[in-house]
Amino acid sequence: MDTNSNINIGGLDFRWDLKNGQFTFEGQDAVLFWISSAMKTFFDTIEEVSGEESSNLVFEATGFRQGLVVGEYFEKMKDVSVTEAAELITNTYASAGWGRTVIRDLNFETKTLTAELKDSWEHKINVAQGKSKGGNFLPAHYAGIFSGLFGTNMWYKVVQYQLEGHECSVIQYFPSEVTVSNNIHQLARKKESEQILQLEALVEGKTRELKELVKKLSSPIIPVLEGVVVVPLIGEYDEERSEELVVKTLNNLPSYKANYLILDLTGLDKDINELVVHLIEKIGSAASLIGTKTILVGISAELSIVISQSELNLSKFECFQTLQHGVHYALGQMGRRLL
């Protein structure tokens, strides 16, 4: 069995060295893969690991950078024009199974051109994958090639894909400030922004849950005895929390058939402002409208100073030093007492 073979097709040299497991194309190490099975699996795996958006960028960036290497190589061959280099490259690619590419409308002044790609290996992979839209490896690859040949950054616009039912894929090329590096950074920033938005949404959700929990736990309505309800005021109150307390208290008093509402002020923050005094007066006055009398207990020295300096008069409410005294008073007024 001959372990060495050398073939020249269209002026291009292919060589196999089975003993050393080597295949060369134009004197360079090369490798052969089945397109619709091995290469398809390779592409499928990248998309599965990276996700569709990231994998598209991977293929695009890789295609462009590989093409740039090829273009810069041919650009250094001063005895070869851009047109001749483009023909050499497309013929070389055709011999390597890349499909047939025809370059049209190449304009040196505007640095524009159109490429027609037919039956490329990328198209065959996309067919095997069952996709409805073509890939961007080869469109970006030729953008890299002509960036190297023209010495200026080129980009592309896909006019049509062969995968869409056309005879070939048509891609337009033109000078552009778009670069694969910028695209990579934009995707990274987009991913970061998406993560930030997700975190903000998570924080907002947790904050909302915490607020709901605070509403349930702060200032609970406690029916201590029949006809007597205690509402402890705890912590600091702003306008929103004050309004919630008023609504919550008044909505629940009738269900408890409360004759007396005892507001326990022991747990209020020491930094008491006039808003708290207004809150106390508002709850007491509103409770009286539905037939419930209000008793204040646990007034601190700080709160008594704020009350005395305000224009509101809380003397209409009975006041006691402790909750125990307030409960005993309420029961006494109803003709009952604790045994």
CATH 3.40.50.300 fits 36-178, yes or no: no
Q: Which DSSP category does 162 fall into?
A: G
Q: Which DSSP category does 163 fall into?
A: G
> What's the pLDDT score for residue 116?
97
Would 36-178 and 218-333 be classified into the same CATH topology?
no
Cα–Cα distance measured from residue 247 to residue 265, given in angstroms and rounded to the nearest whole number:
18
Strand boundaries in 198-331, DSSP class E: 222-225, 228-232, 260-264, 293-297, 318-320
SS3 sequence, 134-148? CCCHHHHHHHHHHHH
Comparing C-alpha atoms, which of 234, 304, 221, 312 is closest to residue 260?
221
> Do residues 156 and 140 touch, judged by C-beta distance below 8 A?
yes
Long-range Cβ contacts of 53-61 (<8 Å, 24+ apart): 53/187, 54/187, 56/135, 56/136, 57/180, 57/183, 57/184, 57/187, 59/135, 59/136, 59/137, 59/140, 60/136, 60/137, 60/139, 60/140, 60/180, 60/183, 61/140, 61/180, 61/183, 61/184
- What is the domain class of 218-333 according to CATH? alpha beta
Per-residue pLDDT 10s for the chain (339 aa) are: 567 788 887 777 888 888 888 888 888 888 888 888 888 898 889 888 888 888 888 888 889 999 989 998 888 876 788 899 899 899 888 988 899 999 999 998 999 999 999 999 999 999 999 998 899 999 999 999 999 999 999 999 999 999 999 999 999 999 998 887 776 667 566 666 666 667 767 777 776 777 676 666 556 788 888 899 999 888 888 888 888 888 888 888 998 899 999 999 888 877 777 888 888 899 999 999 999 999 999 888 888 888 888 877 788 899 998 999 999 998 888 887 665
> What's the pLDDT score for residue 293?
94
> What's the pLDDT score for residue 162?
96
Cα–Cα distance measured from residue 117 to residue 337, given in angstroms and rounded to the nearest whole number:
97
> What's the pLDDT score for residue 236?
81
How far CA 253 is from CA of 67, 105, 106, 229, 265, in Å, comes to 78, 85, 85, 8, 18
> What's the pLDDT score for residue 37?
87
How far CA 145 is from CA of 74, 115, 179, 269, in Å, comes to 9, 12, 14, 72
Report the residue count for the chain. 339
> What's the pLDDT score for residue 2?
66
Q: Which DSSP category does 80 fall into?
A: S
- Residue 105 sits at φ, ψ, to 5 deg, of 55, 40
How far CA 124 is from CA of 63, 153, 329, in Å, comes to 16, 28, 90
> What's the pLDDT score for residue 1?
55
Cα–Cα distance measured from residue 220 to residue 155, given in angstroms and rounded to the nearest whole number:
66
How wide is the angle at C-alpha 177 spanned by C-alphas 171 and 180, nearest 5°?
A: 70
Domain boundaries, the chain: 1-32, 36-178, 218-333
> What's the pLDDT score for residue 129?
93
* pLDDT, tens only, 115-131: 999 999 999 999 999 99
Determine what percent of the chain falls in helix, strand and coil, rounding each to the nearest 5: 50, 20, 30
> What's the pLDDT score for residue 187?
57
Cα–Cα distance measured from residue 258 to residue 249, given in angstroms and rounded to the nearest whole number:
11
Q: DSSP 3-state assignment of 92?
A: helix
Give me 34's structure tokens.
């089945």
